[in-house]
Every structure is written in C-alpha cells, then in structure tokens.
Amino acid sequence: MKKNARYLLLLTACLMPLHSAADLDPSKRNLSPLMLTLFIHDDVSQEQFESLRRDYLGWALAEIESISGRTTQINFIRNRPPYTNFIYKHIHHANTLKHWSDLVFDYRASYNRTRSPRHKFMLITNNRLNDATLGLTELKGEAGIASLETYTAAAHELGHMLNGTHENAEILFDGWFCETNIYPTRVHARSNCKRYSDKNREVIAAYMRNMD
C-alpha cells in the first residue's frame, strides 16, 4: 500500500477456522472455506504476532465471511526460510512482487497445495517495503505482502486479492471522516472505518460466489 500514490496491484503451520460454519446462514454452510496462508516474517515480534488476528485481520475477515457466507481457515507459517526471511524492502515493486510470487509457487509445489481462487498467500512484515509502500499485490492475485505499520494494510491487500478496487473505496462520515479498507491513500487525520465500502462488498461477494 502506498501513501499518496496508486498501489500495485505459528509455530509452523497452525490451521484453524475464524468462525464455526454453524454461525453462518444455514443455506451457506456447505461452501468451501477461504484458505489464507500467512507467512510471518522473521522481523515480526512475538507481541505483534499475538495481536495480528485481533488488531489487524479479525474484523476484516469477519466482514468477508459475513458477505461471502464462507468460513476462513488461517495457516500461520513462521520460522521457515526462504519464505519468512524474504528480502521485501525494494524500490521496484514489480520485481518484489514477482520474486514473492515465485516463492509462493515454490511453496505450493513443495507442499502439494493446488492452485485455487480460494487460496491466498500473504507475507506479513514489520516494516514497509519502502518509504511510500505499505503493501503489495495484484487484483485477484494469490500472493501479497502487507506491513504491520498500519492496521489497514493487510485488509487493504486482501481486499484487492478478492477483487476489491480503489475506485470502489470511499471516505465515510459518521461524526468523523474514515477510510474504507481499500481507499488508495492513507491519511492519519482520518480514522479507519474497519469495513469495505458497499461497492467493494458487492464485488468481493460476487468474486467469492464463483470460487468453487
């Protein structure tokens, strides 16, 4: 994620659902889950890791589950080179994303993970990629990178991976201005809405509806 610019578009494997399928609409309980593999970079502290679900992703995944009817299974990967020590700081975004995507391809091949729109792979880092970039992915991409420097970077990049766009994002007002998750610039004077815009909810729901 870039500031003032357009974004490019634990314990070694702990698998768990964010919510039980029983919590969802009965007509949607048989949908296959969204599979999210999070590679925790070696520069992420234990304290940050412990707060990852609560502060950075839990609220975004809860919304994604509510609009898609799918549960989420998270696979945390930690202390596993060459994935968790990947050199992500670089001025050239395209090269960084290509090299990370190549590593994701290597991971899938090594661990017999089939390619599917339901499977997303994200590197969680402590720092930004460069002075202006907090995260990186492609629209509907399977591989992404997100910094913990802001609470919204992971939700922003995951939204892109699920077909959400900058164009559909909004600034909302409810006593104060806030940015929805995929808004293209991060201004600290505005708060985090902790939600996707209505238009991005619609496109994310449509994309996930056809995942199987």
pLDDT in tens, 118-137: 999 999 999 999 988 999 99
Q: What is the CATH number of domain 14-209?
A: 3.40.390.10
Say how far apart CA 32 and CA 162 lie, in whole Å.
15
User: How far apart are the C-alpha atoms of 165 and 58, rounded to whole Å?
Assistant: 21
pLDDT of residue 4 exceeding 80 = no
pLDDT score recorded for residue 114: 82
77 Rama class: left (phi>0) / alpha (psi -120 to 50) / beta: beta
* pLDDT of 207 strictly over 60: yes
pLDDT of 8: 47
Helix axes 58-68, 198-209, angle to 10 degrees: 60
55 has pLDDT over 70: yes
Structure token pair of residue 19: 């919510």
pLDDT of 45: 96
For residues 59 and 169, give the distance between their C-alpha atoms in angstroms, rounded to a whole number.
17
Q: Please check the confidence at residue 36 and state whether its pLDDT lies above 80.
A: yes
What average pLDDT does the segment 151-177 reach?
A: 95
**147, 125 Cβ separation under 8 angstroms:** yes
3-state SS assignment for residue 113: coil
CA pair distance 127, 143, nearest whole angstrom:
18
Q: What is the mean pLDDT of residues 22-33?
A: 60
- Provide the pLDDT for residue 94: 81
Higher pLDDT, 26 or 28: 28
pLDDT of residue 104: 97
For residue range 85-101, list pLDDT tens digits in order: 999 998 888 899 999 99
Cis peptide upstream of residue 33 (ω within 30 degrees of 0): no
Give pLDDT, residue 183: 93
Question: Closest Cα to residue 171, out of 182, 155, 158, 160?
Answer: 182
Is it the case that residue 5 has pLDDT exceeding 80? no
pLDDT value at 22 more than 80:
no
Predicted pLDDT at 119: 96
Domain borders along the chain are: 14-209
Which two structure tokens, joined as six digits, stand for 195?
């939600």
* Mean pLDDT computed over 68-89: 96
Q: What is the pLDDT of residue 178?
A: 95
Average pLDDT, the chain: 86
Residue 63 pLDDT exceeds 80: yes
